[in-house]
Amino acid sequence: MKLFTCKQIAGIDQLTMKLEPVLSIDLMERASFQIADWVIKNINHDWQIYLFAGPGNNGGDALAVARMLAWSNLKCTVYRIDFGRELKGDPVINWQRLEEQNQVILRKIDSEDSIPEIPVDAIVIDGLFGSGLNKPLDGLAKEIVKQINRSGATIISIDIPSGLFGEDNSKNDLSAIIKADHTLTFQFPKLSFLFPENCEFVGDWTVLPIGLHPNAIEQTETPYHFLTKKFISGKIKPREKFSHKGTFGHALLIAGSYGKMGASVLASQACLRSGVGLLTSHVPQSGYEIIQNSVPEAMTSIDPSETVFSEVPDISRYSAIGIGPGLDKKQETQQALKALLQAKPSKLVIDADALNILSENQDWYDLLPENAILTPHPKEFERLAGASFNSFERLQKQLQFSAKYKVIVVCKGAHSCITLPDGKVFFNSTGNPGMATGGSGDVLTGIILGLLAQNYSAEDATLIGVYLHGMAGDLAATEIGEYSLIAGDLISHLGKAFLQLE
Ligand SMILES: NC(=O)C1=CN([C@@H]2O[C@H](COP(=O)(O)OP(=O)(O)OC[C@H]3O[C@@H](n4cnc5c(N)ncnc54)[C@H](OP(=O)(O)O)[C@@H]3O)[C@@H](O)[C@H]2O)[C@H](O)CC1
Ligand SMILES: [K+]
């Protein structure tokens, strides 16, 4: 699914009105109906509903929602912020319709004294400001937001929590943003919803389709995408009847050191469960028995060192290479990593300690092969590319890094963010907090490696791998919950995840 900036969404609205055609008031009615329908299905009908309406179309939505909730006899009071300016456009029509309906209590807020006290067992519907916010909230608007946040009531935001920008909140006043329990957003999630620091404002979010015109969406260019099941399913290649293990590639995994062999075991198992034909796991001598016993399906390549990776094996036989999990950062490992990069492997995944070694040797970045896949978590990315003030700034750094070194970067987390050298950005839609546990990243490396070896392009191996990894986590969580989830559960649910994509 494409993701757009708020400005672009306004453009898509305009195009929809022209192409469908539909009047703006009717588009507002359609959008508001979706909100009202969700509210009616999801809230306790005995509770008082406080609707807050701002001066623009977000406020217009709130007014229409109030009228629709009254059809179902819900107890609604509308508070319309009054900056002393006349309402304009569609909100005027919706105000008049509410007056005519005469079933909803209508109040205006024109000073701090007129801001209501809101009881805890109330529902607040926040239609103060939406995608048309043009500066941080202050004055009366900020006071209303603070009062709503203080109330402890259940807050449902229309389209976007009031005060939050759809993209960059680096310069925003964070004390002047609604902290919603639920955000009901129109047609597309906004970029800022995907950044962890905004979770306290956005709460749980739901996308409500409002029938924006497919041609308008198609015509509007964007670098931002949200991974969907349909998109990923379309990338999975069927396994042909006459294929054999040679058809599905031979992966080399360089992982594990004395005391950290679990990383090699997990990544090896995940690689095999991702459909690779053959896997060779390169391990130090002390890891030989461990890997043979734990992953009998894998072949082994044994390093001369007893404890760490110290020498690159002949890489010519392998279709893809993965390096990093559990490697440690000993001097001989650092030199061996450099030698591997100098050998210019054509398909490479780099994770964990291999990334940490790189960040301590930044002059090696130029050795990175084109389309190498780097899978840092935010801290590892910070070591690679420097600190960022927030996730939006980090995304800009990530894009620069991908473009400069022509590599794919996966910044792992909730909604893992993937950047490509051509400037495209993909946010993942699968996964859950249960996956924040040791070994989860090793599993991802194994999956991506397995797909790369099967001759998926670096881009596809990354997108499918990230999505599958999260999906396996979601399937595991439905069976055992998030608390008890461990990395091994991701591997044992990979099969079911693949089945869902067929
Ligand atoms: N496709 C869709 O998503 C649809 C969305 N709809 C809804 O429309 C809003 C966007 O509506 P818009 O009128 O563009 O914007 P807002 O309602 O967010 O607010 C604009 C007004 O607010 C004033 N403003 C902006 N920032 C501030 C501020 N910091 N302090 C005070 N006032 C502010 C602005 O006034 P200016 O004079 O400054 O321009 C405007 O008066 C979207 O979010 C959806 O809810 C449609 O209903 C259906 C299609
Ligand atoms: K809002």
Burial of 423 (0-12, 13-18, 19+ CB in 10 A): exposed
**pLDDT of 245 over the 80 cut:** no
DSSP 8-state class, residue 54: -
**pLDDT value for 244:** 83
pLDDT for 430: 98
Which ligand 1 atom is nearest residue 16's CA? 1
Q: What is the mean pLDDT of residues 223-241?
A: 95
Which region among 34-38, 111-115, 239-243, 375-379 has the lowest average model confidence (pLDDT)? 239-243
CA 104 to centroid of ligand 1, rounded, Å: 23
d(CA 329, CA 331) in angstroms, rounded, equals 6
Partner residues linked to 279 by β-bridges = 251
Measured from the CB, is residue 171 less than 6 Å from ligand 1?
no
76 C-alpha vs ligand 1 centroid, how far in Å?
22
User: What domains are there in the chain, each with its CATH number?
Assistant: 6-220 (3.40.50.10260), 229-501 (3.40.1190.20)
Distance 55 CA to ligand 2 centre (A): 11
Confidence of residue 234 (pLDDT cuts 50, 70, 90): very high
Give the count of beta carbons closer than 10 Å to the beta carbon of residue 304. Answer: 9
CA–CA distance, 321 with 363 (Å, rounded to integer): 22
Tens-place pLDDT, residues 1-22: 999 999 999 999 999 999 999 9
- Which tokens sit at 358? 């790189």
What number is the average pLDDT over the span 220-241?
96
The DSSP annotation for 177-217 comes to: S---SEEEEESS--GGGGSGGGHHHH-EEEEE-----HHHH
How high is the pLDDT of residue 308?
A: 98
Q: What is the pLDDT of residue 243?
A: 81
Regarding the beta carbon of 378 and ligand 1, being less than 6 Å apart is answered no
As a whole number of angstroms, the distance between CA 375 and CA 442 comes to: 10
> pLDDT at residue 68 above 80?
yes
Q: How far is CA 325 from CA 341, 447, 497, in A?
A: 16, 13, 23
Task: Classify strands 204-208 and 154-158 as parallel, antiparallel or unpaired.
Answer: unpaired
Give me the mean pLDDT over the 117-128 stretch.
98
Give 356-367 pLDDT, tens digit per residue. 999 999 999 999
Give the CA distances from residue 372 to residues 117, 227, 349, 422, 453, in Å, rounded to whole numbers and listed in that order.
56, 21, 6, 14, 13
CA distances 465 to 164, 351, 479, Å, are 32, 14, 21
The ligand that comes nearest to the alpha carbon of residue 190 is 1
Per-residue confidence at 41, pLDDT binned at 50, 70, 90?
very high
Q: Token match 């209501």: residue?
A: 116
CA dist 423 and 165 (Å) reads: 22
Mean of pLDDT values over 131-143: 98
At 311 the pLDDT is 98
Write down the pLDDT at residue 247: 87
pLDDT at 286: 98
Query: Locate tokens 């539909």: which residue?
Result: 22
Strand-pair category, 408-411 with 373-374? parallel
